[in-house]
Structure 1
Amino acid sequence: MPSALIVLAEGVEEIEAVTQIDVLRRAGVDVTVAATVSKTVTCARGVRLLADTHLDEITDQIFDLITLPGGMPGAEHLRDSSNLIKMLQAQMSADRWLGAICATPAVALLPHGLLTGRQATCYPAFQSALAQDPHCQLVDAAVVCDGNLITSQGPGTAQVFALTLVEILCGQQVRQQITTDMLTDLR
């Protein structure tokens, strides 16, 4: 069974966090939700989420995927977590999957060199940071996959982002089943 770590910090975007948790769990992924400070996290719009564990308790664990919701100031808090950055650097070095949505590609990954030589996207208000960085190529798309890095734009793209993560970890057939079960393919 594939494993995923979703990291929460105060002020993350709740739609992005919950969508990833829910969709990955529907696909049978072993999801661990960890918080950077307190296990109870107040999100950007005031929704409170309870993490499974504290990030400091699992820094030595290996996950097939580590993924970060966006939101402000959540992305800044993720950027400032030294334990998280060490885990993300190890994840990239080992060529394991890394996902980031909304502000986190620009705010949490870019300053630590985690987008160097990569194509990525992010929330439109932060795209200039990617566009101006000579080591990263901005792609204006809902979801961008480049090697082991998957990025996405924001709350409205959270579901397609989560389904892309399912496809990467579990395959196209599981993604299609989850899409059908969630009525995502209805118009």
Structure 2
Amino acid sequence: MKKVSVLLANGFEEIEALGTIDILRRAEIQVQTVSIHSHREVTGAHQIQVTAEKVFEEVDFSQVDVLVLPGGMPGAKNLNEHEGVKRVLKDFAAQDKYIAAICAAPMVLGGLNLLDGKKATCYPGFEPELIGAKITDKPVVTDGKIITGKGPGLVFDFALDLVEKIAGIATRQEVQEGLLL
């Protein structure tokens, strides 16, 4: 079974993180929430506090198949400034593992040149941060093992695309129908 880690930084976009986690778990995909801070408590961009299941240093990322980076500000900026996050993202790219980022978070991938020559999308205004990317206006874009989403209102599209990549189209359709989408 595929294992997903959702990286949470103070200032994360709650809808993107929690919506994605919820949809992946509805698909019975193993998801762990990971605080990039030294403590499990993480506060979202709209002051919603969550308790992550692990802190970054506790996670063996070699046992993880998919990384998810929610956007939000300053959450995406905090992800971008975390050296461990950047190291793990480079490792995932080198191992051809899935990396998914939504809203402002694709800027982290752009700064690492992981979008070079790839199609990608992001929250309007962050396009200059997607260094080397071929920017599209689509809600969700998959190019190789990189999945990018435009923003909070498109979390269902983003998370369901992840479900499809991880568990197949039949599981996606089942979850989608259960959500009345």
TM-score class, shorter-chain normalisation, is over 0.9
Q: SS state of the match for residue 62, structure 2? A: coil
Q: Residue 136 of structure 1: CA displacement?
A: 1.6
Q: How far did residue 40 of structure 1 move?
A: 0.7
Q: 1:113-170 CA distances to partner (integer Å, 9 max, x unpaired)?
A: 121221110001212433xx4x221111100000000000110011110000000000
Q: 2:3 matched to which residue of 1?
A: 3
Distance 1:82 1:62 in 2: 20
RMSD of equivalent CA atoms: 1.1
Structure 2 residues without counterparts, runs of 5 or longer: none
Tell me, in whole angstroms, the C-alpha distance in 2 between the residues paired with 1:111 and 1:169: 26
Deviations 1:6-63 (A, max 9, x none): 0000000000000111000111111011001121111000111110000111144331
The total of aligned residue pairs comes to: 180
Letter in 1 for 2:177: T
* TM-score of the aligned structures, taking structure 1 as reference length: 0.93
Moved over 6 A (4+): none
| Corresponding residue of 1:175 | 172
Q: Could you tell me which amino acid in structure 2 is paired with residue 146 of structure 1?
A: D
Q: Contact between 1:59 and 1:83, CA under 8 Å: does it hold in 2?
A: no
2:159 is matched with: 162
Q: How far, CA to CA, are the matches of 1:129 and 1:93 in structure 2? A: 21
TM-score for both structures, normalised by structure 2: 0.96
Counterpart residue number, 1:121: 121
User: Structure 1: which amino acid aligns with 2:154?
Assistant: T
| 2:111/2:129 contact within 8 Å kept | no
